[in-house]
Chain A
Amino acid sequence: MHGQFPPVLGRLAGALPLFPLELVARRLIDNALSARPSFAGRLADYADRTFAIDPTDCPFVFLVRPHRGHPSVRVVPDIVTADHDARIAAPLVILLGLIDGTYDGDALFFSRDLVIEGDTAAVLALRNAIENAELDPASVLGLPEPLRGPFNRLAGLALDRLRRALDAPEPSGAGPVQP
C-alpha cells in the first residue's frame, strides 16, 4: 500500500497509552457529529453497527459505533481482538483523505489502497454519510467559525505535503472538495 508512515514511527506510537488517544478520538467524533447533525440520519439502520477503522500503519484500531448522535469509541491495539461488524483499512493519511473528500473511495478500492471487510452495506452507508458531511479539519477540531477558513487552508497544505512525503495516491479530484 502507498502512503504508509515509516515502521519506526508505528513502533514509537505503539509505546503510547491508548486511553488518551481514545479520549481525543471521542472528542473529535463528538465535534464532527455535532457539526453535521444529519450524519446519523443518513446512516439510518447502520448507525448501530460497530466500524473498525484500521490505520494499517499505526499500532491501534478505532472501534466506532455512531449510535444516532451518541457515539461510542474504543481504541484497541489490533484488529484480531476487536469485535466489529465492518472493517475499513488503509494507511492513516488515506483514511484522513477519505474523510475530507480528497479521495474517492471507489477509486482507492480499485487501486487496492483501501480494504473493506464485513458488512459491505454498512461500509457503504458510512462512506456516503461521510461524503455528504463535507467534514473539514476545523469542524472536526471544533474551532470557532472565524478560524475555520484559514485553519483549513493551512491543514490542507500540510496534509498535501504529508501525502507527497509518504508517496500516497494522488488526490482523486484537485485536492479536498471545499464545502
Chain B
Amino acid sequence: MNPLLTALPAAAGALTDSGQTSTAEAVLFWVLAPLMVLAALGLLLARKAVHAALAVIFIMISLAFMYVAQGAEFLGVVQVVVYTGAVMMLFLFVLMLVGVDRSDSLVETIRGQRWIGVLAGLGLGVVLAGVVGRATYDPPVGLAEANAPSNPEAVAHVLFADHVLAMEAVGALLVVAALGALVLTHRGRLVPKVGQRERAERRLRDGVHPVSLPAPGVYARHNAMDVPALLPDGTPLESSVPRVLRVRGQEADAREYAARIDRVLAGGWAVGAGTFTSDDEYVGGPQGAVTGGVVVHDPSAGPDGPADRPTDAPTHDEEDGR
C-alpha cells in the first residue's frame, strides 16, 4: 500500500530484502540516536532561544542521516533543504529580530487559552493514538521493490498518485494560511511613501548637513571617536563626534587639545623639553575658558585676539544665499 509506512515499524534501520538491518546502519543508529536524545533534552533545557534552535538543527540533520541510511534519500535531503535550510532559518531570523535575550511573556492574551490548548492537545493525542493503534501494515516488501524506479520517483508516485487529494488540500490550506497572515499584518498606507530621493531633497531643503558628517579626531595623537574635529580656523566641530557619545557626556574636551597645540606653536614644546604629554599640564587658561573656539594659526595674538572669533563653530548647516 504505502512504501513509506512500511519503513516505520523498523525504527532501528531499514528493511533490506531479508528484513534485516546491516551492521553499518546499526552503528549509525547507535551513534546518532543518543546524541539526538541529548540534543532533544537540550532543546527543553537550553536557556537561550538560539541554543534551543541549534539543538533542533542538530536533530533535523541527524534525522536526515537516518532517512538516507534507510534508503529514503529524497526525504532525507529534502528534510535538510526545507526544514533546516528554510524553516529553521526563518525561526532564527525572527529570534534575532525580536532580540535574543528577551524572555517569553507568560501573560495569556486570550482568556482561558491555556486550558483550551491543553484540551485540544489531549484530543489530538487521543486521535493520533486511535489512528496509530488501529493501523495495520502490509508485510514489508523490501527497499529494492519500494525504490524500484528510483527513490524520488517512488516518493512522487506516493504523493502525486496515491495521495494527490490530501496533497492538494494541504497545499490549499498552506496558501490560505499565508494569505491570511498577509491580510492580518497588512497596513494601508496613509501617507505617501518617502523614498531615498524624497529624503535627499528634504535634507537639502531643510538646510541640514547634506552629506555625511566630518569624521572626528584630527590630531595625530588623538585620532579617537571622542575628540572633535577642528575646522580650518581651529574651532572644534562638535557635530563630528558621534551623537551617542555627546548624549552620554563622553566627549573629550576639544579646547584642551587645541590649547596644547597652541602652546606648542607658541614655543611650549621647547620650554617643556619633551615632557609636554600628560593631561594634567593643562590648566584652563584664559583662551580656552573664555572662548568657544581657539586660534591655532595665530599664536602671537593676545588674550583679546580669540575673543573676536565667532563663538559658534561655523558649519555647513548655515546655507548661504538663502
Are A and B genuine complex partners? no
* A contact set with B: CB distance below 8 Å: none
* B contact set with A: CB distance below 8 Å: none
